[in-house]
C-alpha cells in the first residue's frame, strides 16, 4: 500500500504544479485515505508540490493507527490549529479543498497565514480518484462478487409474507457473512407499488404474490463500494410490468454499450434515455443514468443529462436506467462496470433476466 499511495501523491503533485499551487491542504477524510491509507476520523494532509513537506496531521487517538496505516508519511500528532503556519514559506500559494472547507475555517487560515496566498482548489484529488488503479479495481471486483453471491442466496429465500425491512436486513447479513465489512449504503427493497419510488426506504409492507421486488444494494470491501440493482417477481407480474422491464433491460444494454473510453458522460445517459423515450416512458425515467463508484458510493464521474466530462479507461461507473409508474410499481436494472476501450468490464455478474419465483 505505501507504494500505491506514494504514486497517488505524485500524481497530485503534477496537478498542483500545473495549477500553480505550492501546496494543497487535504481535509476531506476520504481523500486523506486515498492519498495515505489512513482511515481515522480526524486528519488533515498537507501535500507540497515540491514533495519535501508532506505531513499527515491527526490527534492522539489515532497516533498508533496513523503509524501503522501511513508509515511512509511524516506525521504530526496535535490538536492545535496553528501547525501549518511554520510549514509554508512566505509568498507561497496554498490551495484549500473549497468544496469541503467552511467559510469560517478558510478565513481563519487566511488570517493565520498573512504571507501566504490561500486560494480555492476543489476537485484535484477527486479527479485522480475517478480513474482507478489495479488495487482499487480488485477491491471493487471483490465487493461486486460478494453482492452477486448474496443476491443468489436471496433468490433462495425471498417469498411472500416477508416484509421489505426483513428482506433488507437478511440481505445485509448475507453480505457480511460472505466477507463484506459492511453494506455500501442503506439497502433498498421496494415491493409492488413501492417500486415507483426510486429510493424507497424498506418498511413494514409484506411482499405479496404478483409483486415485482426491486433490490438495490452493495457490499463494502477495503473501503470500496459495490452497487447493483436487480428485480425479482413473486409470481407472474402481468403484461404491463413485464413490458416495462423489457424496456429498462434494453435501455441498460444500450448504456453499457455506450460506456467506453472517450465517450461523453451525457451521451451514455442519452443512449439509455432514447430507448426509454421511444417506448413512451420518458416521463417515468426520474434520475440520471449512473455515477462513479469507489471510496464513496457516489463519486465522479456522473452520467446524466448535461453531465460534463468524458469517460476514460479504468473509471468505474454504474449504468442504472429505470422507469417508475406511480401507484403501479417500477423497474431499475443496474450494473457496475470498469470502462475500457471496447466492451465494458462488467463487475456485477448476476443475470439480469426477470426472475419469477
Contact 159, 207 (CB under 8 A): yes
Q: Is the torsion defined by CA of 208, 210, 212, 217 positive or negative?
A: positive
What is the pLDDT confidence band of residue 51, given thresholds at 50, 70 and 90? confident
Q: What is the CA radius of gyration of the chain?
A: 23
pLDDT at 2: 74
Cα-flanking dihedrals φ and ψ of residue 130, to 5°?
-65, -30
d(CA 45, CA 136) in angstroms, rounded, equals 21
> Which residues touch 226 (CB under 8 Å, ≥6 apart)?
140, 143, 144, 146, 147, 184, 218, 219, 220, 293, 336, 347, 348
- The average pLDDT across 2-11 equals 92
In percent, the amount of the chain with pLDDT more than 90 equals 96
For residues 236-258, one letter each, b for 16 or more C-beta atoms within 10 angstroms of the residue's C-beta and e for the rest, the string is ebeeebeebbebbbbbbbbbbeb
Largest CA distance in the chain: 72
What is the pLDDT confidence band of residue 81, given thresholds at 50, 70 and 90? confident
For residue range 208-230, list pLDDT tens digits in order.
999 999 999 999 999 999 999 99
d(CA 114, CA 91) in angstroms, rounded, equals 9
d(CA 55, CA 137) in angstroms, rounded, equals 27
For residue range 305-334, list pLDDT tens digits in order.
999 999 999 999 999 999 999 999 999 999
Contact 92, 124 (CB under 8 A): no
pLDDT at 246: 98
Query: Quick one: DSSP state of residue 318?
Result: E
Q: Would you say residue 269 has pLDDT above 80?
A: yes
- The average pLDDT across 19-43 equals 97
pLDDT at 311: 98
- The average pLDDT across 176-199 equals 98
Output the average pLDDT for the chain. 97
For residue range 128-174, list pLDDT tens digits in order.
999 999 999 999 999 999 999 999 999 999 999 999 999 999 999 99
Residues in the chain, total: 357
Amino acid at each position: 500500500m505505501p507504494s500505491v499511495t506514494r504514486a497517488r501523491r505524485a500524481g497530485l503533485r503534477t496537478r498542483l504544479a500545473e495549477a500553480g499551487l505550492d501546496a494543497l491542504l487535504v481535509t476531506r477524510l476520504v481523500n486523506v485515505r486515498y492519498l495515505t491509507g489512513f482511515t481515522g476520523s480526524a486528519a488533515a494532509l498537507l501535500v507540497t508540490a515540491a514533495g519535501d513537506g508532506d505531513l499527515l496531521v491527526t490527534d492522539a487517538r489515532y497516533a498508533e493507527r496513523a503509524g501503522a496505516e501511513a508509515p511512509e508519511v511524516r506525521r504530526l500528532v496535535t490538536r492545535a490549529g496553528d501547525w501549518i503556519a511554520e510549514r509554508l514559506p512566505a509568498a507561497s500559494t496554498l490551495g484549500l479543498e473549497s468544496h469541503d472547507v467552511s467559510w469560517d475555517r478558510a478565513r481563519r487560515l487566511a488570517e493565520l497565514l498573512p504571507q501566504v496566498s490561500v486560494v480555492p482548489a476543489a476537485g484535484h484529488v477527486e479527479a485522480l480518484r475517478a480513474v482507478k488503479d489495479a488495487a482499487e479495481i480488485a477491491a471493487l471486483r471483490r465487493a461486486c462478487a460478494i453482492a452477486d453471491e448474496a443476491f443468489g442466496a436471496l433468490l433462495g429465500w425471498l417469498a411472500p409474507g416477508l416484509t421489505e425491512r426483513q428482506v433488507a436486513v437478511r440481505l445485509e447479513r448475507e453480505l457480511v457473512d460472505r466477507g463484506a465489512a459492511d453494506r455500501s449504503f442503506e439497502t433498498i427493497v421496494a415491493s409492488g407499488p413501492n417500486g415507483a419510488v426510486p429510493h424507497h426506504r424498506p418498511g413494514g409492507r409484506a411482499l405479496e404474490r404478483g409483486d415485482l421486488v426491486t433490490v438495490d444494494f452493495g457490499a463494502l470491501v477495503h473501503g470500496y463500494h459495490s452497487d447493483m440493482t436487480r428485480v425479482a417477481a413473486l409470481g407472474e407480474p402481468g403484461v404491463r410490468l413485464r413490458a416495462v422491464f423489457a424496456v429498462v433491460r434494453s435501455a441498460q444494454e444500450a448504456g453499457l454499450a455506450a460506456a467506453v473510453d472517450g465517450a461523453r458522460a451525457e451521451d451514455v445517459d442519452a443512449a439509455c434515455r432514447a430507448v426509454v423515450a421511444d417506448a413512451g416512458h420518458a416521463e417515468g425515467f426520474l434520475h440520471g443514468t449512473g455515477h462513479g463508484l469507489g471510496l464513496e458510493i457516489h463519486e465522479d464521474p456522473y452520467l446524466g443529462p448535461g453531465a460534463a466530462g468524458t469517460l476514460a479507461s479504468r473509471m468505474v461507473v454504474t449504468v442504472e436506467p429505470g422507469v417508475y409508474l406511480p401507484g403501479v410499481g417500477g423497474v431499475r436494472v443496474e450494473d457496475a462496470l470498469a470502462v475500457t476501450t471496447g466492451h465494458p468490464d462488467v463487475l456485477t455478474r448476476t443475470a439480469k433476466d426477470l426472475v419469477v419465483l
